[in-house]
């Protein structure tokens, strides 16, 4: 049965309402809903939160009525794990009485009976209010009944604001309507914001080589170092350089062709190092304030041990062979897809558990973040089971979905549990495209469950202005990724402005590192963009505003090449305005139109704009500052805005 008060359309929620919404520790999460009842009574509502399974409420916040029967409040969650949010509403009988009796008295109506009704209501409420205020409430009830006094005097005693405050938020027993709990999955802050750096350990001299370079990566300001698969690479049908069919004896193969005689998903490629080396690299990352993310690619090379041990986990053909991966007419003979739905249910359970146990194994080696390869080619039901199963025991584990697939599939992967998702950012380059896409991702229902991770490049994708692009184009796309999304990443080579495409028709790199070693310099020989990357990451670290997603707002510029957006911190105490020139070849100038009211800045006083990239500070007045951006110097301003100090 419906409750006495209707509580509807609650947010945050996911589209199917069958999975938890997402938040991070400490994030300001708006909880809202439609709340109404029959009649004219004043309503009150609150949100209570607790960890799933906990008996006690961990937090409580009163909701406010925004109008049109919509109520909201802000809550925060104290740590990773599954939480629940319950919205409760009740008729605020004292506020209703207070309103009605005031209006009646104001209209000259007799309120003698109303005074007694108010006194009785306070009698009921007295034992429920906090002890310190009980006497005050009881006194107010007595005052309402003090027949020696005039109606006016007694009424004033009953209308006392302190009394109203004391009983506000105190529902009478039996009068509370509660909505079904909203589940919210809470990640550690890195689940929302972080700078990723992808490198191939084999190009860096294996795990010990990576460990030596982590200080330089940390110095660039990255938070997560993501490694492509570190497992033995199949030899059967191994691919040669640039994805050619015939591998020579020295070809190293694709790390995604996982498994060989040396082992499968829980083994290390012998040439990368030992488990001791691996563990030392993980520890060194931690010492540098970073972490190592591994690739989780559920597929097997033909010589993966599972093929012999568990033929029932693969697809078989009438001639007894195992089906390799195909997307006709394309063939991937070096990869066997896994059959996630073997006929025998016991086989399915064994396979899914073995797949999950790969994660558990690496968690045992200190890994807390996984970049999941092609999650859309594995069953949605697998992720909906495996991710919560892992996170129940390890709530600090994060999953980034390499969901380069159709929009609804990408969204569903986020809904069923992925912490973050790769996005279409790589292919969004114009002002209209970027504005629409970031607005979709940062506002409304999407941001309740899907968190973007913007990558200007990956080992698979050299796209848009980066193809044969200038250093200015590389600076531009990095700045956009790093300031439009709280999570972003680059694949090493980016700071070297590697820009040579495989071919006009192919989005991949020429001399792709997926199939060969690509050693590059460090330290003195760092890439030409290294200082710029460092400055951008420093700006990100200095500004909590750049760690948020939902508070992104676009501002008007009359120029198609100028993208103007602001982001504010959860607390509202940090504000960054970015003005980016989308044209890497020509300077642009404009007089902007900022929405100062939305920014919380005064319209009639000076404010300061400090450029985090150049160190320059501008003093601006009003909503129409002039900007000029030359891409040869900088792709954009990253401006810390604040009201100017008095002169």
Catalytic residue numbers read 373, 402
Q: Which two tokens stand for residue 325?
A: 């991966």
353 binds a copy of itself (CB under 8 A): no
145 binds a copy of itself (CB under 8 A): no
What is the full DSSP assignment across 394-425?
-TT-EEEE---S-HHHHHHHHHHT-SEEE-SG
Q: 196: helix, coil or strand?
A: strand
End-to-end CA distance of the chain: 64
**CB of residue 148 to a copy of itself, shortest distance in Å:** 19
516 binds a copy of itself (CB under 8 A): no
Q: 140: helix, coil or strand?
A: helix
200 vs 14: CA distance, rounded Å: 36
Reported residue count of the chain is 647
Degrees to nearest 5, angle at CA 593 with 587 and 595: 135
H-helix or E-strand spanning residue 435: helix 431-442
Residue that is written with structure tokens 């960054």 in the block: 576
Q: Which two tokens stand for residue 150?
A: 């005039």
Q: Which stretch binds a copy of itself (CB under 8 A): 102-110, 361-369, 442-450, 460-468?
A: 102-110
State how far Cα 107 lies from the chain centre: 55
Among 22, 213, 412, 431, binds a copy of itself (CB under 8 A): 412
Residue that is written with structure tokens 């400090």 in the block: 610
Residue (50 or 348) nearer to a copy of itself, CB = 348
Say if CB 27 and CB 83 are below 8 A apart: no
235 vs 231: CA distance, rounded Å: 13
Total chain residues near a copy of itself (CB under 8 A): 52
Q: What secondary structure, in 3-state letters, does 532-592 show?
A: HHHHHHHHHHHCHHHHCCCCEEEEECCCCCEEEEEEECCCCCCEEEEEEECCCCCCEEEEC
Residue (106 or 364) nearer to a copy of itself, CB = 106
344 binds a copy of itself (CB under 8 A): no
- Lay out the site mask for a copy of itself across 33-72 (x = CB under 8 A, - = otherwise): -x-xxxxx---------------------------xx---
Say if CB 629 and CB 588 are below 8 A apart: yes
Q: Which stretch binds a copy of itself (CB under 8 A): 29-37, 45-53, 130-138, 232-240?
A: 29-37
Say if CB 257 and CB 191 are below 8 A apart: no
**CB of residue 173 to a copy of itself, shortest distance in Å:** 12
319 vs 167: CA distance, rounded Å: 79
318 binds a copy of itself (CB under 8 A): yes
173 binds a copy of itself (CB under 8 A): no
607 vs 518: CA distance, rounded Å: 48
172 binds a copy of itself (CB under 8 A): no
15 binds a copy of itself (CB under 8 A): yes
State how far Cα 459 lies from the chain centre: 23
378 binds a copy of itself (CB under 8 A): yes
**CB of residue 413 to a copy of itself, shortest distance in Å:** 10
Among 319, 524, 525, 604, binds a copy of itself (CB under 8 A): 319
Q: Which stretch binds a copy of itself (CB under 8 A): 327-335, 484-492, 549-557, 621-629?
A: 327-335
**CB of residue 153 to a copy of itself, shortest distance in Å:** 20
3 binds a copy of itself (CB under 8 A): yes
> CA dist 523 to 2, 213, 235, 520, Å?
66, 9, 35, 10
- Lay out the site mask for a copy of itself across 269-308 (x = CB under 8 A, - = otherwise): ----------------------------------------
Residue (138 or 380) nearer to a copy of itself, CB = 380
Q: Which stretch binds a copy of itself (CB under 8 A): 8-16, 191-199, 216-224, 606-614?
A: 8-16
50 vs 86: CA distance, rounded Å: 9
442 vs 607: CA distance, rounded Å: 26
Among 231, 269, 371, 376, binds a copy of itself (CB under 8 A): 376
H-helix or E-strand spanning residue 208: helix 206-219
- Lay out the site mask for a copy of itself across 199-238 (x = CB under 8 A, - = otherwise): ----------------------------------------
Residue (45 or 472) nearer to a copy of itself, CB = 45
143 vs 218: CA distance, rounded Å: 68
State how far Cα 417 lies from the chain centre: 12
231 vs 272: CA distance, rounded Å: 9
**CB of residue 183 to a copy of itself, shortest distance in Å:** 16
**CB of residue 340 to a copy of itself, shortest distance in Å:** 8
406 binds a copy of itself (CB under 8 A): yes
Region 105-144 residues binding a copy of itself, contact defined as CB under 8 A: 106-107, 109, 113, 116-117, 120
Q: 159: helix, coil or strand?
A: coil
445 binds a copy of itself (CB under 8 A): no
Among 181, 205, 240, 379, binds a copy of itself (CB under 8 A): 379
Q: Which stretch binds a copy of itself (CB under 8 A): 71-79, 317-325, 355-363, 623-631?
A: 317-325
168 binds a copy of itself (CB under 8 A): no
**CB of residue 238 to a copy of itself, shortest distance in Å:** 21
Q: Which two tokens stand for residue 544?
A: 């909590």
195 vs 193: CA distance, rounded Å: 7
248 binds a copy of itself (CB under 8 A): no
392 binds a copy of itself (CB under 8 A): no
328 binds a copy of itself (CB under 8 A): yes
6 vs 39: CA distance, rounded Å: 12
Phi first, then psi, for residue 513 (nearest 5°) are: -65, -15
Q: What is the CA radius of gyration of the chain?
A: 30
Among 161, 173, 249, 408, binds a copy of itself (CB under 8 A): 408
| Binding-site ranges for a copy of itself (CB under 8 A) | 1-4, 6, 8-9, 15-17, 34, 36-40, 68-69, 99-100, 103-104, 106-107, 109, 113, 116-117, 120, 317-319, 326-329, 340-341, 376-381, 384-385, 406-409, 412, 416
């Amino acid at each position: 049965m419906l409750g006495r008060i209707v509580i509807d359309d609650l947010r945050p929620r996911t589209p199917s309402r069958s999975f938890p919404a997402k938040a991070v520790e400490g994030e300001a999460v708006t909880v809202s809903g439609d709340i109404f009842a029959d009649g004219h009574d004043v309503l009150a509502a609150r949100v209570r939160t607790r960890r799933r399974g906990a008996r006690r409420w961990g937090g409580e916040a009163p909701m406010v009525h925004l109008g049109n029967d919509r109520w909201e409040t802000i809550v925060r969650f104290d740590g990773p794990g599954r939480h629940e949010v319950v919205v409760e509403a009740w008729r605020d009988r004292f506020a209703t009485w207070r309103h009605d009796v005031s209006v009646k008295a104001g209209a000259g109506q007799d309120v003698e009976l109303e005074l007694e009704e108010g006194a009785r209501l306070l009698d009921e409420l007295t034992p429920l209010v906090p002890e310190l205020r009980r006497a005050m409430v009881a006194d107010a009830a007595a005052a309402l009944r003090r027949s020696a006094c005039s109606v006016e005097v007694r009424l004033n005693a009953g209308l006392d604001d302190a009394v109203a405050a004391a009983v506000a938020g105190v529902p009478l027993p039996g009068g509370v309507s509660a909505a079904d709990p909203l589940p919210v999955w809470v990640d550690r802050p890195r689940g929302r914001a972080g700078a990723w750096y992808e490198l191939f350990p084999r190009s860096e001299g294996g795990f010990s080589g990576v460990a030596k370079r982590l200080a330089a990566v940390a110095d660039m300001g990255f938070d997560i170092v993501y490694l492509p698969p570190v497992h033995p690479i199949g030899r059967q049908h191994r691919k040669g350089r640039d994805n050619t069919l015939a591998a020579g004896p020295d070809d190293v193969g694709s790390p995604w062709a996982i498994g060989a005689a040396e082992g499968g998903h829980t083994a290390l490629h012998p040439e990368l190092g030992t488990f001791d080396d691996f563990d030392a690299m993980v520890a060194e990352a931690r010492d540098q304030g970073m972490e190592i993310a591994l690739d989780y690619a559920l597929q097997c090379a033909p010589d993966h041990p599972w093929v012999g041990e568990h033929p029932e986990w693969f697809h078989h053909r009438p001639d007894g062979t195992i089906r390799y991966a195909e997307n006709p007419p394309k063939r991937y003979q070096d990869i066997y897809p896994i059959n996630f739905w073997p006929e025998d249910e016991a086989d399915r359970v064994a396979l899914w558990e073995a797949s999950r146990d790969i994660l558990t194994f690496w968690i045992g080696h200190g890994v807390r973040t996984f970049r999941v390869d092609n999650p859309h080619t594995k069953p949605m039901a697998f992720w909906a089971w495996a991710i919560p199963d892992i996170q129940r025991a390890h709530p600090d584990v994060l999953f980034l979905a390499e969901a380069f697939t159709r929009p609804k599939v990408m969204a569903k992967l986020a809904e069923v549990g992925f912490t973050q998702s790769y996005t279409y950012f790589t292919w969004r380059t114009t002002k209209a495209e970027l504005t629409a896409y970031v607005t979709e991702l940062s506002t409304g229902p999407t941001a309740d469950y899907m968190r973007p991770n913007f990558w200007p490049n990956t080992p698979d994708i050299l796209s848009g202005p980066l193809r044969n692009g200038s250093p200015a184009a590389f600076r531009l796309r990095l700045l956009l990724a790093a300031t439009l999304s709280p999570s972003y990443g680059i694949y090493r080579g980016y700071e070297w402005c590697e820009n040579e495409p495989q071919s006009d028709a192919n989005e991949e790199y020429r001399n792709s590192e997926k199939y060969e070693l690509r050693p590059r310099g460090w330290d003195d020989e760092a890439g030409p963009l290294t200082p710029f990357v460092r400055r951008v990451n420093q700006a990100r670290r200095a500004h909590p505003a750049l760690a948020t997603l939902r508070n992104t707002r676009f501002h008007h510029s009359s120029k198609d090449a100028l993208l103007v957006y602001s982001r504010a911190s959860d607390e509202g105490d940090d504000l960054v305005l970015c003005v980016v020139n989308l044209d890497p070849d020509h300077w642009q100038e404009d007089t902007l139109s900022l929405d100062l009211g939305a920014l919380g800045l005064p319209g009639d006083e000076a404010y300061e704009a400090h450029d985090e990239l150049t160190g320059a500070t501008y003093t601006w007045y009003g909503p129409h500052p002039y900007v000029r951006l030359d891409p040869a110097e900088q792709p954009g301003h990253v401006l810390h805005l604040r009201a100017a100090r008095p002169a």
